[in-house]
Structure 1
Amino acid sequence: MTEILETHGVKIPLNPDVITSKIERAIRKDRYELDEVSGTPKFLEKDDRVIELGAGIGFISSFLGVNLGVENVLCVEADPSLCAFIRNVHELNGLSAAQVRNCVALNDAGSEGPVSFYVREQFWSSSLDGEEPFEKAIEVPGVRLSKMIRDFNANTLIVDIEGGERDLFAPADLSGIDKIFLEIHTRKIKKIGIKQCFDALSQSGFCYDQQVSRGGSVLFRRIPRWQLKQYAG
């Protein structure tokens, strides 16, 4: 019988094919995804519609449902084996409304179609970047983020995509989105990549929220229109 781990009210099956010893230790010590656990309650509302890019093992989406009552979550994950695990985690935690989609989010310059995704032993290191060693390359459907936002009627993005954030927002129609909680992977995208992210989101009308941001986990909020008009004037 599979052992069930629990952290911050979320139950996670101890499947060794997915839950590595490093993740297991973090879960048992309630240290797994601490930035998200401490940050999301500060800005999410129960009726928010959230797209989570890089859903991993389904912990964050389950945490939102179990602890914050956020039911409308679209989990986007490139690794199909993780998608199956996420669905199991959702079922184990009684989440019926959360959705899971196996694809990669593209900016508006990208053509929708198959995208190469590089799977590594530690799932959090899997990415669109094939320069570092990987176990296998798979083809994953590529879908424009702007289309996902429209179809799901989302107002919030949670993004943890191992360097893919560098090119995600330029160009991208983020209409309808008010909050973006972004994990920045400096090792992957370097300082110039951080600048690209901040510049693109600034041009789309977002600003850095210092009250929620912590280290590489950054919250961007949409600037009210009246403030933008005042600035332009």
Structure 2
Amino acid sequence: MDDQQGFQPRNPFLRSRGLRIPKHPQFTTGQVRGALREDRYELKESNAAKRIINGDDVVLELGGGIGYMSAFMAKVCGAKHVHTFEANPALIPYIHEVHAANDIENVTVHHALLAGRASKPVPFYVRKNFLASSMDKENAEGIIEEASVEVLGLNATLKKVKPTVLMCDIEGAEATLLPQGDFTGLRAAVIETHPQWIGQAGVQAVFDTMHKAGLTYFPKASHGKVVVFRKDF
């Protein structure tokens, strides 16, 4: 999946909020490129992370994307360690490139997804538009590869990683996955909710899960769909 082979721009990096982001013909184009250059990419999550993450924190990130937030939390916020989970196999090499470009060594990248319990690997459909890849085969248009993704148990992972902060952007799955976890070990969480997909009941499930873990909604660091919870007021 080395789509960057032979791709050597004169200036190979975009600069964004203190990070060097390698240019890529699929991942850093159009609106993404503009948002990175103008420091708007993942702005709400970045602002929240900078406000709550410190050098003692171990972060569990669900939904690694292009590696921007894991790099930001590791280098700019100074997290002790970040464990980032991403299901899309097409993104994994690029996430490593982002980390390498910023001399980041305190991030562990997991090509896996989390579920209520571990299970056999599941299919993941890589599309020509890599960012549109998903586990949904219903719309087969653009599929170029069927990959296999490891499925790990959420609570087993929490016990192993022992995170103090949760960063979560999993495109609507937060409403079904998070209620299955025991997050009592967290001191803070940043969650992008997707009410257009999960509805009021789904948003309520997220809030109830965090409150059950002893975390309280923190409005000063929340913004729109990105909600922050804290234990250490």
TM-score bracket, shorter-length normalisation: 0.7 to 0.9
Cα deviation, 1:5-46, whole Å, max 9, x if unaligned, reads 011011111111222312011111211111022111111111
Q: Which stretch shows the higher mean deviation, 3-12 or 113-122? A: 113-122
Contact 1:39 1:212 in 2 (8 A): yes
Q: For residue 22 of structure 1, what is the amino acid of its counterpart?
A: Q
Identify if the C-alpha distance between structure 1 residues 134 and 219 changes in structure 2 by more than 3 Å, giving closer, same or farther: farther
Identify if the C-alpha distance between structure 1 residues 42 and 211 changes in structure 2 by more than 3 Å, giving closer, same or farther: same
Tell me how far apart the structure 2 counterparts of residues 179 and 169 of structure 1 sit (CA, whole Å).
Answer: 14
Cα deviation, 1:135-163, whole Å, max 9, x if unaligned, reads 44543111122222221221111001111
For residue 113 of structure 1, the aligned residue among 105, 108, 120 is 120
Tell me how far apart the structure 1 counterparts of residues 105 and 232 of structure 2 sit (CA, whole Å).
Answer: 33
Contact 1:71 1:95 in 2 (8 A): no
The equivalent of 1:151 in structure 2 is 160
Cα deviation, 1:140-187, whole Å, max 9, x if unaligned, reads 111122222221221111001111101112221224222111000122
1:20-59 to structure 2, matched below 5 A, reads 20-59=29-68
The equivalent of 2:24 in structure 1 is 15
Contact 1:126 1:162 in 2 (8 A): no
How many positions carry a matched residue from both structures? 222
Q: For residue 176 of structure 2, what is the amino acid of its counterpart?
A: D
The Cα of 1:203 is off from its aligned counterpart by 2.7
Cα deviation, 1:208-229, whole Å, max 9, x if unaligned, reads 11121110001122489xxxxx
Which ranges of structure 2 fall in alignment gaps of 5 or more residues? 1-7
Aligned residues with identical type, % of pairs: 32
Identify if the C-alpha distance between structure 1 residues 91 and 205 changes in structure 2 by more than 3 Å, giving closer, same or farther: same
Alignment of 1:94 onto 2:103: yes
TM-score (norm 1): 0.85
The runs of 4+ residues in structure 1 deviating greater than 6 Å are none
Which ranges of structure 1 fall in alignment gaps of 5 or more residues? 225-233
Q: Find the residue that maps to 1:81 and give its secondary structure.
A: coil
Task: Tell me how large the CA RMSD over aligned residues is.
Answer: 2.3
Q: For residue 209 of structure 1, what is the amino acid of its counterpart?
A: F
The Cα of 1:112 is off from its aligned counterpart by 2.6
TM-score (norm 2): 0.85
The Cα of 1:4 is off from its aligned counterpart by 0.7
Q: Find the residue that maps to 2:91 and give its secondary structure.
A: helix
Q: Which stretch shows the higher mean deviation, 11-20 or 121-130? A: 121-130
Tell me how far apart the structure 2 counterparts of residues 45 and 223 of structure 1 sit (CA, whole Å).
Answer: 13
Cα deviation, 1:65-95, whole Å, max 9, x if unaligned, reads 2222224011111111211111111011010
Identify if the C-alpha distance between structure 1 residues 213 and 127 changes in structure 2 by more than 3 Å, giving closer, same or farther: farther
The equivalent of 2:151 in structure 1 is 142
The equivalent of 2:200 in structure 1 is 191
Q: Find the residue that maps to 1:52 and give its secondary structure.
A: strand
Tell me how far apart the structure 2 counterparts of residues 209 and 58 of structure 1 sit (CA, whole Å).
Answer: 25
Q: For residue 55 of structure 1, what is the amino acid of its counterpart?
A: G
The Cα of 1:201 is off from its aligned counterpart by 2.4
Identify if the C-alpha distance between structure 1 residues 188 and 49 changes in structure 2 by more than 3 Å, giving closer, same or farther: same
Contact 1:124 1:162 in 2 (8 A): no
The equivalent of 2:226 in structure 1 is 217
Tell me how far apart the structure 2 counterparts of residues 124 and 21 of structure 1 sit (CA, whole Å).
Answer: 13
Contact 1:105 1:142 in 2 (8 A): yes
